[in-house]
Amino acid sequence: MAGDYAVAVTTGGIPLVEKILPRSGVLQRTAASGASMQIIAANVDMVLVVTSIKHPDFSNGFLCRALAAASWKELKAAIVLNKMDLCCSQDKELQDSILATYGPGGAGYPLFPISCTTGHGADALLEYIRGMTVVMTGSSGTGKTSLVKYYNPSLDVRIGTLNPKTSKGRHTTVAARLIPLKSNTSVIDTPGLRMFSIDHIPRNDMQFCFPEFRVYLDECKFRDCLHLSEPECAVKSAVDEGSIPEIRYGKYVDFMNEKNP
Ligand SMILES: Nc1nc2c(ncn2[C@@H]2O[C@H](COP(=O)(O)OP(=O)(O)O)[C@@H](O)[C@H]2O)c(=O)[nH]1
Ligand SMILES: [Mg+2]
Ligand SMILES: [Zn+2]
Ligand 1, residue 189: give the atom nearest the CA.
Answer: 21
pLDDT, position 217:
97
Range of the domain at 103: 22-189
76-82/111-113 β-pairing? parallel
Backbone angles phi, psi at 7, to 5 degrees: -95, 125
Q: Tell me which residue has its CA closest to atom 3 in ligand 1.
A: 83
What is the rounded end-to-end Cα distance, in angstroms, of the chain?
Answer: 34
Q: Per the omega criterion (within 30 degrees of 0), is the bond before 56 cis?
A: yes
Query: Relative to the alpha carbon of 51, which ligand is closest?
Result: 1
Residues at CB less than 6 angstroms from ligand 1: 82-83, 85-86, 115-117, 138, 140-146, 159-162, 169, 172-173, 192
Per DSSP, the three-state class of 104 is coil
Query: Relative to the alpha carbon of 143, which ligand is closest?
Result: 1
From the CA of 23, how far away is ligand 2's center (Å)? 24
DSSP for residue 89: G
- Does any domain span residue 6? no
Last residue of a domain, one of 131, 159, 189: 189
Of 176, 113, 111, give the one whose Cα is nearest residue 148. Answer: 176
Backbone angles phi, psi at 28, to 5 degrees: -135, 160
pLDDT, position 196:
85
Q: Tell me which residue has its CA closest to atom 23 in ligand 1.
A: 161
pLDDT, position 51:
97
In this structure, how many other beta carbons lie within 10 angstroms of the beta carbon of residue 114? Answer: 24
Q: Are residues 217 and 239 part of one domain? A: yes
pLDDT per residue as tens, the chain (261 positions): 778 887 878 878 887 877 887 788 888 888 776 667 778 888 899 999 999 999 999 999 999 999 999 999 999 999 999 999 999 999 999 999 999 999 999 999 999 999 999 999 999 999 999 999 999 999 999 999 999 999 998 877 666 666 666 666 665 566 788 999 988 999 999 887 778 889 999 999 999 999 999 999 999 999 999 999 999 999 999 999 999 999 999 999 999 999 876
Q: In whole angstroms, give the CA distance from residue 191 to residue 172.
A: 7
pLDDT, position 189:
92
pLDDT, position 71:
95
Domains of the chain: total: 2
**Model's pTM, two decimal places?**
0.90
Element (H, E) at 100: helix 92-102
Q: Are residues 159 and 58 part of one domain? A: yes
Ligand 1: which of 159, 163, 170, 187 to mutate, judged by most atoms within 8 Å of the beta carbon?
A: 159
Residues 6 or more apart whose CB falls under 8 angstroms from that of 234 comprise: 216, 217, 218, 219, 220
Q: Are residues 89 and 43 part of one domain? A: yes
